[in-house]
Chain A
């Protein structure tokens, strides 16, 4: 399967992607991750306003077969969660990098950005 890894995003070893927009970051799971999970049927998102530390388990994505934890790629405060995922969890499968986004963080520790993977590093990891 040809891996879909957009070049304008950053990644984590645990298959989250990060889109940086100034002081905030939008976070979701990669095409590789959604393919591994198969049909997503339920997404549990972090509460608005919750303070997350990098690496903290903060969301759960459930497929027909299994439940998988999401880990915060960066530290910050949850300032938005995707309202569409409650009624349309399948967006995570069909459009993982846009309509299937999970939540947005107001970043607290910009230095952490250096710890994220480039598209090339992520591609190498999942090869």
Chain B
């Protein structure tokens, strides 16, 4: 039995094509993936992301506890700020990648991948049980009680404030990665200036029973600006163009943030955290596989996850494997991400992607793969 978000009826009314994603029934697209992708790049798109998880951590020792299990240094976060971070196991392998928000000095929100809610909650519970000041930390998985929508695109800032009562900062006044409390019809909720598309945008985290009202409010307010509902299909093509990792593809429990090129979000100098020793060791020794972004250099079918990557000078075995791939709607060419032996990872390395038995020419490129010029 697939899980449904508070917007399931809304998706049906909009004529969405529904697909299964991580145990949830979600919209793949409403009109077409390409249409919705282009709307986000040129105006705005609204995504149901209510399937994602919301874990709250509160208390005088919450900051120290979280800093002992997450890779990024939250000492840098003021109330009203968030950052991208990872939860790693003892081997430095990624349990999840997520956004951490410091709502107040002693109140944090972790927004985690839908497919990893149970794994994250149980890992955090286990780490907390071993944490000396556990009595001063309250951890609560409230994923079922909270939902979220993402409004992404260059026009999002023009209508995002609409309808919200804001005691503090208006959403449109937020800088990137900041978060502000707002309310709608008396219900408190949060808006952050974050996203997964490579465009400017906002994410609204709200009680599940407020989500439909927010969705309708946004659709109404955004219509004159070209806002369209957008599904998981466009979400994937957008994030691939932005070269953002997707857990289960570029990250898993046997892949470290260093291998995935996310060393920037690993604060090895901040003091101990789970996985630190392994990551420090890996940094010193060098990784044995490295994530690279690439573009196809000729007309060919799109690269897809699982396709082997070869050196252009042949060789007995592939030098890597594609983890994400698609036809880029913005660039009109095949693009992707994949792990390769480190010597093939530098930008401008010629490689070949094996597509249905034939090797198609490609080249490694900087990230993001698509950037608005």
Tell yes or no: A123 within 8 A of B by CB: no
CB-CB under 8 A from B299, the residues of chain A are: 86
CA distance A113 to B230 in the complex (A): 43
B301 & A60 in contact (Cβ 8 Å cutoff):
yes
B34 & A64 in contact (Cβ 8 Å cutoff):
yes
Interface size class of B (residues with CB under 8 A): 10 to 19
Name the one of B29, B300, B301 contacting A38, with C-beta atoms under 8 angstroms: B29
| A60-B356, A64-B233, A65-B233 as given contacts; A38 in contact with B302, CB under 8 Å | no
CA distance A93 to B35 in the complex (A): 13
CA distance A93 to B31 in the complex (A): 12
Chain A proximity mask over B347-359: 1 for CB below 8 Å, otherwise 0: 0000000001000
Number of interface residues of A (CB under 8 A): 13
CB-CB under 8 A from B329, the residues of chain A are: 64
B326 & A64 in contact (Cβ 8 Å cutoff):
yes
A41 & B302 in contact (Cβ 8 Å cutoff):
yes
CA distance A38 to B28 in the complex (A): 10
Tell yes or no: B26 within 8 A of A by CB: no
Name the one of A39, A42, A90, A93 contacting B301, with C-beta atoms under 8 angstroms: A42
CB-CB under 8 A from B327, the residues of chain A are: 41-42, 62, 64
Determine the residue in chain A with the shortest Cβ distance to B35: A39
Which of A41-95 touch B at CB < 8 Å? 41-42, 44, 60, 62, 64-65, 67, 86, 90, 93
Chain A proximity mask over B273-309: 1 for CB below 8 Å, otherwise 0: 0000000000000000000000000011110100000
CA distance A38 to B356 in the complex (A): 21
CB-CB under 8 A from B301, the residues of chain A are: 42, 44, 60, 62, 67
Chain A proximity mask over B1-37: 1 for CB below 8 Å, otherwise 0: 0000000000000000100000000001100111000
Most buried by B among A38, A39, A60, A86: A39
B302 & A39 in contact (Cβ 8 Å cutoff):
no
Chain B proximity mask over A85-111: 1 for CB below 8 Å, otherwise 0: 010001001000000000000000000
CA distance A65 to B301 in the complex (A): 12
Determine the residue in chain A with the shortest Cβ distance to B328: A41
CB-CB under 8 A from A65, the residues of chain B are: 28, 33, 233
Determine the residue in chain B with the shortest Cβ distance to A38: B33
What's the minimum C-beta distance from B249 to chain A, rounded to whole angstroms? 14
Name the one of B17, B33, B300, B356 contacting A64, with C-beta atoms under 8 angstroms: B33
A93 & B33 in contact (Cβ 8 Å cutoff):
no
CB-CB under 8 A from B34, the residues of chain A are: 39, 64, 90
Tell yes or no: B237 within 8 A of A by CB: yes
Name the one of A38, A42, A44 contacting B233, with C-beta atoms under 8 angstroms: A38
Determine the residue in chain B with the shortest Cβ distance to A35: B17
What's the minimum C-beta distance from B158 to chain A, rounded to whole angstroms? 28
What's the minimum C-beta distance from B19 to chain A, rounded to whole angstroms? 9
CA distance A65 to B302 in the complex (A): 10
CB-CB under 8 A from A41, the residues of chain B are: 302, 327
CA distance A52 to B4 in the complex (A): 46
CA distance A127 to B232 in the complex (A): 27
What's the minimum C-beta distance from A89 to chain B, rounded to whole angstroms? 9
| A64-B233, A64-B237, A65-B28 as given contacts; A42 in contact with B302, CB under 8 Å | yes
What's the minimum C-beta distance from B7 to chain A, rounded to whole angstroms? 20
CA distance A93 to B29 in the complex (A): 15
CB-CB under 8 A from A90, the residues of chain B are: 34
9 of the cross-chain contacts (CB-CB < 8 Å) are A39-B33, A41-B302, A41-B327, A42-B302, A42-B327, A64-B327, A65-B28, A86-B299, A90-B34
| B interface residues (Cβ-Cβ under 8 A, vs A) | 17, 28-29, 32-34, 233, 237, 299-302, 304, 326-327, 329, 356
In the complex, given contacts A38-B29, A64-B237, A65-B28, what are 5 additional A-B residue pairs having Cβ atoms less than 8 angstroms apart?
A: A39-B33, A42-B300, A62-B301, A64-B233, A67-B301
7 A-B pairs with least C-beta separation: A41-B327, A39-B34, A64-B33, A42-B301, A62-B301, A39-B33, A39-B32
